[in-house]
Amino acid sequence: MYEGTGEALRLEAVRKVYGDDANRVTALDGVSLALPAGSFTAVMGPSGSGKSTLLHCAAGLDRPDGGRVFVDGAELPGGSEAALTRFRRGRVGFVFQHFNLLPTLDVLQNVTLPLRLAGRRADRTRARAVLERVGLGDRLHHLPAELSGGQQQRVAIARALVTEPKVVFGDEPTGALDTRSARQVLGLLQEAVRVHGRTVVMVTHDPVAASYADAVLFLTDGRIVGHVARPTAEQIAERMTHLAEAAERSAFATEA
Ligand SMILES: Nc1ncnc2c1ncn2[C@@H]1O[C@H](COP(=O)(O)OP(=O)(O)OP(=O)(O)O)[C@@H](O)[C@H]1O
Ligand SMILES: [Mg+2]
């Protein structure tokens, strides 16, 4: 079992506001958290609570309007888009709900792409090894369209892992998959944490998916409102029901 050392991700009072005066939305309202290296965290909360915004700001895909973000001890840089891109390389990997593979590249090319973009030699041996690990060693020269959804998501996971990033973010990575493919994907994320020492942060709406994580963070209206360690699917489902009820009550209170 991998022994985590140090902190993989830290957010300090992160704020993100969309829109202008007329239609301002505070998507993140002072989010602070610290995740140890080698941890697997699920992020849950109602639609519009800021989960994707949180992931994008933490991964350096977007800039917060306030607060600070640190990945592996290094602070997210100000300045150009190019500086952000450099920051992400080697530090973060991202897995999306709809895979986002490049349709004209085959499986192996999709996985070597991040290495080529980082100016590293397109290490095909390493890419092959990662694809073996996700069970796709015999699909190297297929195009994404020739694969099932579950297989495509496993390619996306291989692509996220090939640069050996400190933190892997997943925004509903099992949201478009059937139960069996979802379980495979969750197993791979768990293995990335337990065997390879990565840190995984995954948004999900599914209590069973969240129960693969070591801890669950609950988000409502851009704020962290709860934390459960070593959760069971039942505990998570119960907590979600309470949060939904509380949200409904506060909506009624505002209307009244
Ligand atoms: N690019 C944007 N421009 C304006 N508002 C945005 C933008 N992106 C998100 N928002 C708003 O910020 C809030 C948080 O959105 P976010 O996508 O983070 O929610 P979420 O928790 O991921 O929801 P879901 O579960 O539906 O994916 C929402 O009110 C949303 O409308
Ligand atoms: Mg979202």
Q: Is residue 242 part of a domain?
A: no
How many structural domains is the chain composed of?
A: 1
pLDDT tens-place string over residues 182-199: 999 999 999 999 999 999
Q: Is residue 240 part of a domain?
A: no
Q: Is residue 115 part of a domain?
A: yes
CA 99 to chain centre: 12
Q: Is residue 177 part of a domain?
A: yes
Q: Is residue 246 part of a domain?
A: no
* Domain CATH number, residue 173: 3.40.50.300
pTM: 0.93
How high is the pLDDT of residue 79?
Answer: 82
Q: Is residue 233 part of a domain?
A: no
How high is the pLDDT of residue 120?
Answer: 76
Residue bearing the CA closest to ligand 1, atom 26: 47
Is 179 exposed, middle or buried, given 0-12, 13-18 or 19+ CB atoms closer than 10 A? exposed
52 lines ligand 1 (CB under 6 A): yes
Q: Is residue 255 part of a domain?
A: no
C-alpha dihedral sign at 120, 68, 195, 174: negative
167-171 sheet: strands from edge to edge: 92-95, 167-171, 199-203, 40-44, 215-220, 223-229
50 CA → ligand 1 middle, Å: 6
Residue bearing the CA closest to ligand 1, atom 2: 18
Backbone angles phi, psi at 223, to 5 degrees: -125, 145
- Using most ligand atoms within 8 A of CB, pick from 26, 52, 65 the residue to mutate for ligand 1: 52
Backbone angles phi, psi at 177, to 5 degrees: -115, 155
49 lines ligand 1 (CB under 6 A): yes
The whole domain housing 167 covers 7-228
Taking 70 as the pLDDT cut, the residues of the chain under it are 1-5, 254-256
How high is the pLDDT of residue 1?
Answer: 43
Q: Is residue 243 part of a domain?
A: no
